[in-house]
């Protein structure tokens, strides 16, 4: 019997570096019943897949808490859970700022006291090291205490992590600054006891400990502030949701909070207001700005019977809307949930950094000890020099930069995509989209509009006007529910034609329709229907016109009145205007383009030719679409499938990247890895965004790795072996702090990505 698998999202606090997230992944991932565990440092969240028969969410949380972190089950994606996380992040940021100001004030005073004379700033005699060595040392001791208190988190988190055998970045800072502090306190005691006073007074490291804590705290503050900004996209989406709505009950109006809206409620939406939930217009007429959803700048006319989407803007006119989807079921809520889920996911490229981060801190600690011992015993430089090397190696190392390199770029990239109408569901999809070598398009609803339209009307009788013919044909077709009939009626109504009521209407399956309109017997259908009904046979020219329409992928309809051919109509599912440019752009990128459709060969090739596609698979059944995608994969292509219908869902799931049109149905959208909310042009945006994000990730990883590869040997004194300088621990701490800031700042550049 196969065990069921559940997924649980957790919010985790207390993580300070990639070593923390890697440790949680390793420990929890090894628990019986846990299938997978992904921890995201940037979003402070985790997604765990587990077998509920073997392990419970409570046991998972307890395991995380035993590692020294706090965990709770995440609430519904979007909404209050996001707001609570943001509020907590802002509170932490404010607390960090409160601690940072006094820490820096005391650090500046400490640095001036310890290093002032070296840069030509004379000290008062009562503080001068040569005149009052004990006072000089004691004041430094007193100045460093408030700094260490403000940075107490490093010790409260770092030492317990060390005792648990899972040291992290806080452990490095705690050991480095703690060693400097303890050594300096011992020196202060010896100065007080009169032991080698001048030697000890020049060998104090209070300023190193204090300035290190201040600089690292500054780096953590800047990093946290930058991370808060990575959620700007979600915040902007949520800002579109109105806080309250006007409920209509028995013709009375009442303002209620958005959370109180129930399915079936009638809501009044005034001009200039945003529609609160997804629903159906039951009364009124207006134009609605749906640009936040579709990207279409022109407002869309809405009247009774039309669907509306929450957060779209009512431009003019009063609308009464019946709520159909509320809370987490609305389109916007689902978009927000999708973006948040993607931001919490990982790209495969992050695996290397995660594996290294797990062993990074212990390795650095060993290197720091070995470097210090080597200089003390082999370099014969004395304990003070060896201690400085030991501290520098500890504080130069930064696992944070490696841990933040990937998730911050994914957070900002997916958020920016949402702003541009491209919803990326996971980091894996974002990474895979960069590698796509073939794009397979469904035809109907993807390359075409998905609805038949009257494209041509050729009148064969000179004395009859086009308007008169269209009126007769549309009036006759108004009795039919066939999609081709709907296309004709729609064309007539768009021209403002008044259609008489047809009588004696009859639909002949597979042939056409007959009806009497204003006393005229009208026939509409294929050539065979005309012949069977005794209509004057069409001549060669008429048949050539019909054949020409068929060659263009259009359906030709013969129209007759009172036994005489009147006209030939052409109906087609029009190609989207942006399709040819999109196909050409893909081909310029070196991507092979295919079209996959269930339509007949003639129609499929006609549409494909208009779009600029030469590779066509026609008359393909839904179950065969998956096989076609698999066949392309077998040829070595990395395939992206673009579709919008139920019959596309299996192929979307099979492709390396399934790309669903946001105008499609739920099944297709759920099957897709990427959803295009603003039409085909979003495909190019998605591919460009993928490339930009992956480039950004590689830049981050390069700088994170190169920083440590160069920084650690320099801190260990390699340059000093060849007559070069050593690395002051304070400079090492500042560099370490700024490495994480630089990675997050580089990721934030994606906020300005343009398709």
Q: Which residues are designated catalytic?
A: 442
Which tokens in the block code for residue 305? 């019977």
Distance in angstroms (rounded) separating the CA atoms of residues 390 and 657: 49
Whose CA is closest to 95, among 235, 224, 229, 231?
A: 224
Distance in angstroms (rounded) separating the CA atoms of residues 84 and 20: 23
Number of C-alpha atoms within 13 angstroms, CB side, residue 617? 20
- The CA-based angle 44-45-50, given to 5 degrees, is 155
Torsion over CA: 708, 711, 716, 719 (sign)? positive
Phi (first) and psi of residue 325, to 5 degrees: -130, 125
Which tokens in the block code for residue 491? 């064309």
> Across the chain, which distance is largest between two alpha carbons, in Å?
127
Distance in angstroms (rounded) separating the CA atoms of residues 210 and 537: 100
Whose CA is closest to 224, among 338, 360, 88, 337?
A: 88
Contacts of residue 235, defined as CB under 8 A and 6 or more positions apart, other chains included, come to 86
Burial of 33 (C-beta count, 10 Å sphere; 0-12/13-18/19+) = middle
Neighbours of 581 (CB within 10 A): 14
| Whole-number CA gyration radius for the chain | 35
Phi (first) and psi of residue 452, to 5 degrees: -65, 145
Contacts of residue 266, defined as CB under 8 A and 6 or more positions apart, other chains included, come to 247, 248, 249, 282, 320, 321, 322, 323
Distance in angstroms (rounded) separating the CA atoms of residues 466 and 513: 20
Helices (H), 525-616: 527-532, 540-551, 579-588, 601-611
Q: Are 52 and 421 in contact (CB under 8 A)?
A: no
Whose CA is closest to 319, among 368, 364, 266?
A: 266
- CA dihedral defined by 141, 147, 150, 152, rounded to 10 degrees? -60
Contacts of residue 214, defined as CB under 8 A and 6 or more positions apart, other chains included, come to 100, 103, 104, 106, 107, 147, 151
Whose CA is closest to 183, among 161, 163, 209, 160?
A: 209
Residues in the chain: 755
Torsion over CA: 331, 332, 335, 336 (sign)? negative
Distance in angstroms (rounded) separating the CA atoms of residues 37 and 441: 35
Distance in angstroms (rounded) separating the CA atoms of residues 144 and 210: 5
Q: What is the DSSP string of 490-520?
A: HHHHHTTPPPPPPEEEEEETTTEEEEEETTE
Which tokens in the block code for residue 337? 């949930």
Q: Are 347 and 295 in contact (CB under 8 A)?
A: no
Helices (H), 164-253: 169-192, 197-201, 206-229, 232-238
Burial of 412 (C-beta count, 10 Å sphere; 0-12/13-18/19+) = buried
């Amino acid at each position: 019997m196969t065990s069921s698998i559940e997924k649980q999202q957790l919010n985790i606090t207390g993580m300070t570096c990639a070593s923390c997230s890697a440790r949680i992944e390793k420990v929890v991932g090894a628990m019986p019943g846990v299938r997978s565990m992904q921890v995201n440092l940037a979003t402070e969240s985790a997604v765990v897949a587990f077998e509920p028969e073997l392990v419970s969410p409570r046991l998972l949380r307890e395991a995380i808490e035993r590692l020294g972190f706090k965990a709770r089950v995440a609430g519904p994606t979007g909404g209050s859970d996001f707001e609570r996380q943001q509020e907590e992040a802002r509170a932490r940021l404010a607390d960090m700022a409160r601690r940072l100001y006094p820490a820096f004030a005391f650090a500046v005073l400490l640095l001036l006291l310890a290093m002032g004379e070296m840069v030509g700033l004379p000290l008062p005699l009562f503080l001068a090291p040569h005149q009052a060595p004990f006072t000089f040392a004691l004041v430094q001791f007193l100045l460093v205490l408030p700094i260490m208190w403000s940075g107490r988190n490093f010790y409260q988190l770092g030492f317990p992590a060390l005792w648990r055998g899972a040291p992290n970045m806080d452990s490095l800072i705690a050991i480095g600054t703690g060693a400097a502090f303890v050594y300096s306190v011992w020196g202060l005691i010896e100065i007080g006891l009169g032991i080698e006073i001048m030697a000890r007074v020049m060998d104090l490291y209070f300023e190193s400990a204090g300035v290190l804590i201040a600089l690292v705290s500054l780096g953590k503050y800047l990093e946290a502030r930058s991370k808060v900004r990575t959620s700007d996209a979600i915040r902007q989406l949520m800002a579109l949701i109105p806080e309250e709505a006007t409920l209509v009950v028995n013709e009375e109006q009442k303002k209620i909070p958005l959370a109180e809206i129930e399915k079936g409620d009638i809501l009044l939406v005034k001009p200039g207001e945003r529609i609160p939930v997804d629903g159906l217009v039951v009364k009124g007429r207006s134009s609605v700005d749906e640009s936040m959803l579709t990207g279409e700048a022109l407002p869309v006319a809405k009247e009774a019977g039309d669907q509306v989407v929450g957060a779209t803007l009512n431009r003019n006119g009063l609308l009464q809307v019946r709520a159909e989807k509320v809370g987490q079921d609305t389109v916007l809520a689902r978009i927000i949930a999708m973006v948040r889920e993607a931001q919490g996911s990982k790209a495969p490229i992050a695996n290397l950094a995660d594996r290294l981060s797990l062993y990074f801190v212990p390795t650095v600690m060993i290197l720091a000890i070995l470097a210090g011992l080597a200089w003390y015993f082999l370099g014969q430089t004395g304990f003070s020099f060896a201690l400085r090397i030991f501290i520098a190696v500890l504080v130069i190392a930064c696992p944070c930069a490696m841990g933040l390199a990937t998730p911050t770029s994914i957070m900002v990239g997916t958020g920016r995509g949402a702003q541009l109408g491209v919803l990326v569901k996971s980091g894996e999809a974002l990474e895979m989209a960069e590698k796509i070598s073939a794009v397979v398009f469904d035809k109907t609803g993807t390359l075409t509009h998905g609805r038949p339209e009257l494209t041509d009307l050729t009148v064969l009788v000179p004395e009859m006007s086009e308007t008169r013919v269209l009126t007769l044909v549309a009036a006759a077709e108004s009795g039919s529910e066939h999609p081709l009939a709907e296309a004709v009626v729609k064309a007539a109504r768009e021209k403002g034609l008044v259609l008489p009521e047809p009588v004696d209407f009859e639909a002949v399956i597979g042939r056409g329709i007959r009806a009497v309109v204003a006393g005229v017997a009208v026939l509409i259908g294929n050539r065979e229907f005309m012949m069977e009904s005794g209509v004057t046979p069409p001549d060669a020219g008429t048949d050539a016109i019909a054949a020409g329409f068929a060659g263009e992928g259009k359906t030709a309809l013969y129209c007759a009145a009172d036994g005489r051919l009147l006209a030939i109509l052409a109906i087609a599912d029009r190609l989207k205007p942006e399709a040819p440019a999109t196909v050409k752009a893909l081909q310029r990128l070196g991507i092979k383009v295919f079209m996959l459709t269930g339509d007949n060969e003639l129609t499929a090739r006609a549409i494909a030719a208009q779009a600029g596609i030469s590779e066509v698979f026609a008359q393909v059944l839904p179950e065969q679409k998956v096989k076609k995608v698999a066949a392309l994969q077998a040829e070595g292509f990395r395939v992206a499938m673009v579709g919008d219908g139920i019959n596309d869902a299996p192929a979307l799931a099979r492709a390396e990247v399934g790309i669903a049109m946001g105008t499609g149905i739920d099944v297709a959208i759920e099957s897709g890895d990427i959803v295009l909310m603003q039409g085909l042009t979003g495909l190019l945006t998605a591919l460009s965004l993928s490339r930009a994000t992956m480039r950004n990730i590689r830049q981050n990883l390069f700088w994170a790795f190169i920083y440590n590869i160069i920084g650690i040997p320099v801190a260990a004194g390699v340059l000093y072996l060849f007559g070069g300088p050593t690395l002051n621990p304070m400079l090492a701490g500042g560099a370490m702090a700024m490495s994480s800031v630089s990675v997050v700042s580089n990721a934030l550049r994606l906020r300005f990505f343009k398709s």
